Structure 1
């Protein structure tokens, strides 16, 4: 299994994150222009590092997928808010020949975030996520979270031809997957306070960009 870790200035969190990668999983750190030595920290911990000059969450995830070579690929934030040790729980729910085919039941599995404190997921960000998820359910997408922890087959992910390279990537993924008839499942994962400041909800500009990207996607994809 490969784990794509989109990364922008996460040197403080990467040691914990990389130490929690499950045995048999390869960490691919998609470095999105970090200036704090994140790439060096990742290499020092044995991770594969991919330089991603195009800024944006979607650009980092896509570059990581291209660098991966495992049949099943996971994605997880690199800020220590999510525990990579939970990734096998997501993989076990996949309809995949690589796991027990009688147990798998989904083509895409998301980690539904369960915050451990208000600081882990501030109310404005949590309410915004819930509002988008509610709009998705009205369109037949069975989710309650646009979870940044997920697992799916690499070839299938690339086959969706997701175009967004910014904050709208997770939303486009869910819309395209539903259009393609994918079975989508969620499993609860703990969501803890991140190390460092969020690039999205941590700044007014980041939050505004995320809202703009997601609103445009919801309007353009039917």
Structure 2
């Protein structure tokens, strides 16, 4: 199976070398630059990644641009900030390749203090609980590492281009009868400060986007 790995990127020059060096064989990185002002694009190109420039700002806009650029049978998504280890990508891609699941989410397990701020962890737990009640899927984390088949993802018709994109993917997949599974992945302290979970304001903004997506996909 050909696997493309979409890496939304906003000023991740410091993290990209570690991330791209640890990309497993058979996984092709697609770095989607979403307005970086540092050397992220040059670093990504130097390490052999396909670079896609998405001028429309938004996490979902970057993710979807990567999905549209992908050509592999399976598309995986993960953050480019070194908070997730690319060597663990097979944990989410292999069940999809084997036909055991349609969408696999990486359930983050913290391995060091400070990797997951309390306010972000609490918001994620609340959202996951609501998602379980609504869809019946055994989801405990709306994690950024995930994988599914490319053609099936495109058929979902995902429309959110902000922080609600990962949630919309799960909601529409559940509505379509997909088999949704989880796999544990390590969650590490990111390189630099998070644009979302690193601040209460960023977390509140993400929660607002996800509430909107919940309403729109009721």
Give the alignment's TM-score, normalised by structure 2. 0.96
* Alpha-carbon distance in 2 for matches of 1:73, 1:177: 15
Correspondences of 1:1-222 after superposition (within 5 Å): 1-94=3-96, 96=97, 99=98, 104-139=99-134, 140-222=136-218
* Alpha-carbon distance in 1 for matches of 2:143, 2:8: 14
| Secondary structure of residue in 2 paired with 1:114 | strand
Give per-residue Cα distances to partners, 1:43-88, cap 9 Å, x unaligned: 0101000001010110001000111100111111100000011111
Moved over 4 A (4+): none
C-alpha contact 1:141 1:174 (8 A) present in aligned 2 = no
Q: Offset of 1:119 from its aligned partner?
A: 0.4
Q: Offset of 1:90 from its aligned partner?
A: 1.5
Q: How many residues align?
A: 215
C-alpha contact 2:117 2:198 (8 A) present in aligned 1 = no
Gaps of 5+ in 1: none
* Alpha-carbon distance in 2 for matches of 1:118, 1:125: 14
C-alpha contact 1:18 1:27 (8 A) present in aligned 2 = yes
Task: Output the aligned Cα RMSD.
Answer: 1.0
* Alpha-carbon distance in 2 for matches of 1:211, 1:148: 15
Q: Offset of 1:141 from its aligned partner?
A: 2.9
